[in-house]
Amino acid sequence: MSTPEAADAATYWQDVYAARPVPTDPRPNVRLTEIVAALPPGAALDLGCGNGGDALWLARRGWRVSAVDISAVAVERLTGLAGACGLGELIDARQHDLHESFPGGRFDLVNAHYLHTPHALDRSKVLRGAAHALRPGGRLLVVDHGSTAPWSWNQDPDAYFPPPSEVAAGIGADPATWTIERAEPSSRVATGPDGRMAEVTDHILVLRRAS
């Protein structure tokens, strides 16, 4: 049974996506395209799929994508877009609350982009589940905010952005089984939903399971 907090989180994100225009061609996250473009396609899990840009980009490159989001609106829109693009057989989008449980399956890639929320979420537990869901040779890609963008919902001047090394420590991956391929901040110029441009910092972590 869902807790009241989980219900509030679902309502919050439901309202966020319902208030947004229906996307026709959502953009993938830049860090995903940079890091994953050279990888051979396989099975991918997209945590917090949102508008679906990452899932669609992966499917267009032959990945079989399980996409999950707490918002039913986001999931329904992605399902519709996947069908309209002829990618319905490659994308399985479902509503899922990561605060309550973790999706089943084994994956060659787990994509966790900006998995931030104003509601309760044990991110370390979620990311540990993601690491353990990797097949041998699979990668966990975690991209977090490392700065506050002008369009961010969180404008707290005292907001703390854990560095990738701290995120990796929270996962507690045994070095005998998992290798940190990348753990660093990286800056770029980004364009927000309202068209504004600003320099932002991403915290990037790439964790690979031993073959």
Residue 151, pLDDT score: 78
- The neighbouring-strand residues paired with 189 are 199
pLDDT of 3 above 80 = no
The residue behind tokens 């995120």 is: 167
Contacts 24+ apart (CB under 8 A), 59-64: 59/85, 59/87, 59/90, 59/91, 60/85, 60/87, 61/37, 62/90, 63/90, 63/109, 64/90
CATH superfamily of 4-209: Vaccinia Virus protein VP39 (3.40.50.150)
Residue 2, pLDDT score: 44
For the chain, the average pLDDT equals 92
Q: What pTM was computed for the model?
A: 0.92
pLDDT digits (tens, 9 = 90+) for 136-172: 999 999 999 999 888 787 788 888 999 999 999 999 9
Amino acid making up residue 61 = R
Residue 159, pLDDT score: 85
Return the percentage of the chain with pLDDT > 70, whole number: 96
Domain ranges of the chain: 4-209
pLDDT digits (tens, 9 = 90+) for 14-40: 898 888 888 888 999 999 999 999 999
- The neighbouring-strand residues paired with 208 are 139, 179
